[in-house]
Structure 1
Amino acid sequence: METPHPPEPKYLKDEEVSQECMSLLSTLPSESGWLSKKLHNYQGFWHNARQLQGVISCQKHFQAQDTDILLVTTPKSGTTWLKAILFSLVNRTRFQQTEGDHPLLSNSPHALVPFLELKLYVDGETPDLSSFASPRLFSTHLPYISLPKSVQDSKCKLVYLCRNPKDTFISLWAFTNKLKLQEIRTNSIEEVFEKFCEGISLCGPFWDHVLGYWKESLKNPEKIYFLTYEEMKEQPDLHLRKLADFLGCPFSSKEEEERVVDAILDICSFDKLSNLKVNKEGKLPSGESNNAYFRNGQVGDWKNYLTAEMAQRLEKICEEKFDGSGLKF
């Protein structure tokens, strides 16, 4: 007797979108996806169908408040870690890092800092955000051009995080393979490397996403804090203090004496988060296992997977794309 297949998780159900979204999809360029069947190009960037429904709904209905904080990232650039850090930073007077009931100990960072287009608006409905304490903390993978107008027009703050494209690619390849159903073959590294180099990846092209925020951060540094994963890994205490200053909640001399910076970095460390029961065994409402978001968090892991030729090709593409911008990885 055959073992019945488990039900398909929500994140793979491309067909469960509104009629409005289906009509739009039929007009957009599409390519085969890494995880979902298709990726669709909207406003110059690639999205799967469910995410695109969230993008459109979010653009139409999300009303940013001046006190909002948005964590914006390219996919697989350290989002989970920075969600934990920003949540702890912003809520440090509500929840003590050393207390056993800190929300991070029993909740995924993705539950505490929800994605606008991947959680709150993904079903195409307008969520009730009245329960969010101020400052409201959200996250998104949206490119700058696709942000809701209210985000661009308000005084809300954006923290932008990106990562070396070679590590970003490897993390995205491993992540999408981990989320595939067992009966579906995994993507070969060569197959998706070609797509990544052509700019076809979730919320890609990678370089266009990064450049959009880089240029805006130069124009408006009071609104956008631009950060790389490598910088954060190298000097986490420095950038945590800078983030606190940027968000208008600097550490007091008393907090410095009490080593609150160290306490935040400790509770948000990869080792601490990845070994929590909620992150080893829990699942998000959309069906992803929390442990899929914890691989190794190392800088330079791409060296274990990419050939010299692949690395050189990606470096050359990024060199050309970022030429004249002042941005280097």
Structure 2
Amino acid sequence: MEDRLDRDLDGEKLTAILVFMLPGLTLFAIFSVGPMLYSAVGSFFTWDGFTIGQFAGFETWIAAFQDDAIINWDNLLAFQYPMGALPQNIIWMVVHVPLSTLLGLGLALLFADLRGRSVLRSMVFLAFTTPTVVIGLVLLFVYDPQAGIFNGLLRSIGLEGMVRNWVQEPQIAIYALVAGGVWVQTGFSMLLYSSALAGIDPALLESARVDGAGRFRRFKDIIWPLVKPVTAVVVIMSMIWVIRIFAIVYAAGGPSGGPGGVFSVLGLEVYQAAFSVPIEYSKAMVVALIELVIALPMAWYIASMD
């Protein structure tokens, strides 16, 4: 009798859980799973504007990887810009993610014991709360060859020969923009690391200090093992942010992706293919799916973390 009652209660709990989850699952299916499946199927068809046409197989996929706007194989092998949206997105990831992660950790450690740390953290985090479109426009002003703050700083320290329009020279323009992205994402990384550091028992650090452990030893043996799980989240969230980046690139370089497309990333190519004449809807789906294939395993890893 008692076992039957327990089974009835478990059944009622399961029913209640499903009822509460149903609205969320329905919205998720309509606005996330549905578009993913629609894009996956649609990428194998030709499109007349927004009207589906004939089955094309892998023709659109092959054409996308042969498109210089996606991968410029000649420039990629010579390591010259523009290399195409996909390699440039990867360069964003390789440069941006380590820098924003290390700077975030460094600032979190620096501010941990300072007076006024709340104000300092707020100042650093402000960039992350600013719309990325605004950040892109600010970067154009910062790098302006005449009135820009960065070039003004170079002049003030006697480096007049280095003054240039940093966002117009193909071989350095993308790195100037990546620096702005690092400025944005560092605040997010710092906030997560600061939360992790706040959870460390001060008695552990004090005991290690009394036992003669220096700053590096305390970091290596106590702090790093405790913030290591946060590092995985910081790195993967930064990688997803880079893969999805669009607004800062559009604001700084326009729909063409800067001079010769040196700013172009996958998100910008989706926009170009879907909304610029001639409309290439199947190409937009292919590029969007490339983004999804890169980002989905990272999101899944975060969701599966204990």
Q: TM-score range by the shorter chain?
A: under 0.3
Q: Which of the pair is proportionally richer in strand?
A: 1
The structure with the largest helix share of the pair is 2
Structure with the greater alpha carbon radius of gyration: 2
Structure 1 length-normalised TM: 0.22
What is the TM-score with the length of structure 2 in the denominator? 0.23
